[in-house]
Chains A and B, each alone.
Chain A
Amino acid sequence: MTSEYLTNWLYVWFFIAAGGALVVLILLFSKLINPSHLTAEKLAPYECGIPPVGNPWAPFAVRYYVFGLLFLVFDVEAVFLFPWTLVFRTLGTAGFVEMLLFIAVLGFGLLYAWRKGALEWA
């Protein structure tokens, strides 16, 4: 490896540093120049909504997680299916079988969720 490689890496670090500095700079700058007149209304979480009541760390129904996970099943499926369709012809039979397997595995997940009663809201 030549030192050129590392020089290229230096650019990366430079960008990271510059990015961080920019964030700090902008926040600092706006803090300095913007007028600050705080009122009770301005400090409320939602200026035009219902004021929140109670602890924001309140637990909420675990079912949302289950649905989140189920959503992921189809999401991941879609993420792979779209690019696959574009190269379907070049992949041939093997590609088709592989995708079928993939869908079967995900479908199995759905079956599992269904049998375990994750699809029922109650």
Chain B
Amino acid sequence: MNAGNAVVVILPGVVVAVGAFVVFLVDLFVARKAVLAWIAAAGLITGAAVAVGQWISVSNGLHFNARKPQTGFAGMVSLDKYALFCVVLFAGIGVATIMLSDAYLARRKAARGEFYGLLLLVITGMIGMVVSTDVVAFFVSFELMSLPTYVLAGYLWRDERSGEASIKYFVTGAFSSAILAFGLALVYGASGQTTYSGIAAGLAKLSGLDARGFLVVAFVLVVTGFGFKISAVPFHNWAPDVYEGAPTPVTAFMATGVKAAAFAGFARLFVAAAGLQWQTWAHTMTILAVLTMVVGNVLALPQRNLKRMLAYSSIAHAGYLTLGLIAAGTSGKPLGIAAILFYLFAYALMNLGAFGVLIWIRNRRKFAYTLGEIGGLARTMPWAAILMAVFMVSLTGIPPTIGFWGKFYLFTAVVQANLTWLAIVAVIMSSVSAYYYLRVVWYMYFREAPQGAEMEAEPKSSQLGVTVAVSLAAAGVLVVGLFPEPLLKAAEGAVRLIFGG
């Protein structure tokens, strides 16, 4: 294998990384900062376009073998539909985040160059996580994703809460990264290999109670690292504080992008490297999933700050998503992972949309993100209100929205894995969630606007990016809600190969 081929395998990631450097570079020498958003978006779109091209090549067996994924760097990375699907998803989330941030940052007179550069670096790390088929490459990508996120969380450093969020996220994040590294080291110790396939082969040779005990410890550590990133209970405490304190576009990005990468990357790790040892991690996750769904939903109920409410709701959604991994592990069938991919897509659309509406309001007037302050939104900003209603309905999981199909597929996978009781818990908890989601709609449509919620006469910065991003997200929520078929087919196609071993 030559290095050129290896570069082809990681080409989408390389494109995005180059994009990041171009953004930094242009920022150094160009005074018109408005161009930066376009460059960053162009980098992401090019990366996604490369991925789409590769997807087509892989599907049709043009340049790559459709049956056997192309690997590179001694099997450390792999080019397959799974990675490509995620690349497109990540790039989409990135572009949406840029659209949401531009006016937000301009309004706060925050530098945009570093923001977009760091954002692209995070996405490079995210792509690395799904492309990796080796725990070392995986961990490095994981860190590449994490470190700039800490900075982004504290990006508005003059704001105390933003700085606080950053420090909290950094300390706990570093702590959990260490735990993850230790867990991966134990896995390496047990199998003597670092590639996923090597680990799978190495673990298959182990036997006996001692080995099981050893693996339990190893995988609890890995699951802890995973649980931290997806904010699963009891590793979730950081999430509400950080989500509330971080700049809203960053919050939106962390809740969708970082979480999506964590799920997609770890799903691959667990399934490809330890699919046969599923009991060691799936049982741990079952405890986490139930706790997460219950605590996330119940603690979202009393929240009156919308960002905090969405933070807890994001915890709850992490619980649902974990079910897909458990289902895949228990049944040994790929439907659970496909459901995760679909759900990640759905969740990205509706959550970015919901945060986008908050940003939209914040850009127009004074807004402290509380429930009372969105009262009467249906009259003051009717278009924003109706879009928000769409997202809330979708987050609850009511047809004909994408959120419904996301839950439908996820729970179907769980039921088919003979874990009906888990599906029942999930359905009950998502009906609890209807209360706090639909309450938002109720406030917007049936409450009076609070005092002092007058629009500022002239929005200081262009709202176009936010409006377009939010409208597109809503259109996606509804269109895929009506025609879920193509996306599900793509998700199912994406997971077929990684379930080889």
Contact = CB atoms under 8 A, between A and B. Distances in A.
A108 B210 contact: no
Interface residues of A, number: 14
B206 A108 contact: no
A105 B124 CA distance: 15
A112 to B, nearest CB: 6
Interface in B182-224: 190, 205-208, 210-211, 214
Nearest to A7: B210
A5 B28 contact: no
Interface residues of B, number: 15
B208 A2 contact: yes
Given A1-B190, A1-B207, A2-B208, A94 B3 contact: yes
Contacts of B206: 1
A116 B206 CA distance: 54
Q: Which 4 A-B pairs have the closest CB atoms?
A: A1-B211, A1-B206, A115-B28, A94-B3
B24 interface: yes
8 contacts: A1-B190, A1-B207, A1-B210, A2-B210, A5-B214, A6-B210, A112-B28, A115-B28
Given A1-B190, A6-B214, A111 B28 contact: yes
A6 B211 CA distance: 8
Given A1-B206, A115-B28, A108 B21 contact: yes
B3 A5 contact: no
A98 B3 CA distance: 10
A39 interface: no
A112 B28 CA distance: 7
Given A2-B210, A116-B28, 20 more contacts: A1-B190, A1-B205, A1-B208, A1-B211, A1-B214, A2-B208, A3-B208, A3-B210, A5-B190, A5-B211, A5-B214, A6-B210, A94-B3, A97-B3, A105-B21, A108-B21, A108-B24, A108-B25, A115-B28, A115-B29
Contacts of A2: 208, 210
A99 B483 CA distance: 49
B336 to A, nearest CB: 28
A2 B24 CA distance: 53
Contacts of A6: 210, 214
A103 B135 CA distance: 25
Contacts of A116: 28
Interface of B: 2-3, 21, 24-25, 28-29, 190, 205-208, 210-211, 214
A12 to B, nearest CB: 10
Nearest to B213: A6
Contacts of A1: 190, 205-208, 210-211, 214
Given A1-B214, A6-B214, A94-B3, A112 B208 contact: no
A97 B21 CA distance: 18
Interface string A1-22: 1110110000000000000000
Nearest to B206: A1
Nearest to B207: A1
A97 to B, nearest CB: 8
B403 to A, nearest CB: 41
A111 B25 CA distance: 9
Nearest to A114: B28
A86 to B, nearest CB: 20
B225 to A, nearest CB: 21
Contacts of A97: 3
Given A1-B207, A2-B208, A94-B3, A112 B214 contact: no
A60 B95 CA distance: 40
Nearest to A95: B3
A112 B207 contact: no
A3 B207 CA distance: 10
B308 to A, nearest CB: 32
A101 B376 CA distance: 56
Interface string A104-121: 010010011001100000
A112 B210 contact: no
Contacts of B3: 94, 97-98
Contacts of A3: 208, 210
A85 B60 CA distance: 44
Contacts of B214: 1, 5-6
Contacts of B207: 1
A109 to B, nearest CB: 9
